[in-house]
Amino acid sequence: MKKIAQRACLVAGLALTLPGCFFVVGAAAGAAAIAVVYDHRTIANTLEDTDLANQISDKIQAIPGLHNDCHIEVTAFHRVVLLSGETPNTTWRQQAEEIARSVPGVRRIYNQLTIQGPTSSLTRTSDSWITTKIKSTMLATENLKSSSIKVITENGTVYLMGIVTMEQANTAVNIAREVSGVQKVVKIFQYRPAPAQE
C-alpha cells in the first residue's frame, strides 16, 4: 500500500509539472539534497528509477549496521544508480554496493560512499542550500533547458546526473563550481550528440 501511495504521489506531481518540469526528490527528512532540472524522462522511466531506488534503499535499511551507523542515499537516473553518503568502514561500503547490484534492472553503479561518520544536520542544511542555488542558476540558463540534469549534494560534493551534450555538461559543471560551499563536482552524465546547426 505504501508503494502504491508513493507511485500515486509521484504521478500526480509529474502531471502538475510536465512538460519541462522541475521537482525535488527526497526519501525522508535529512536526506541528501536532490533536485531535477527539466526532467524529460517519461513517467514510466521515472517510476522505474523510483522503484529501483526504493528497492535498494529498503534492502540497505534492512541491515542494522547500514541503517544505524551509516548515512546512505540512493539515486537512480535511467537505471544508473548513485550511492552517496558516509559509512564508517569499507566493508559496509562494499555491502551497500553489492545490495544495489543485486536488484534487477540496474545498469551501472557509482559507489561514492565516503569512509567517515554520518554528516551533521547543519551540513545537510548547507547541502540543501547548495543544491537550491545550483538548481536556480541552471533553470535560468537557456542552453540547459532542453536537458535532464539531476543535482545531488552530499557533504559539499555535488553529483550531476543526466543525459546531456558535452557543451551542456561543461556549462552545468561550471555553474556548480561557482557556488559557495562546493568542494568538488562529480559528473555522472550520459552524453548525446549536439543538435545539428541549421
pLDDT in tens, 119-129: 999 999 999 99
Rounded Cα distance between 110 and 96, Å, is 11
Strands (E), the chain: 21-24, 33-39, 71-77, 80-87, 108-115, 148-154, 157-164, 184-191
Domain that holds residue 54: 1-198
Cell of 192: 548525446
Q: How many domains, in total, are found in the chain?
A: 1
> Which of 4-8, 33-37, 49-53 shows the highest mean pLDDT?
49-53
Predicted structure pTM score? 0.77
Cell of 40: 524529460
Residues in the chain: 198
8 pLDDT exceeds 80?
no
7 pLDDT exceeds 50?
no
Q: Residue 89 carries which DSSP code?
A: S
pLDDT in tens, 50-59: 999 999 999 9
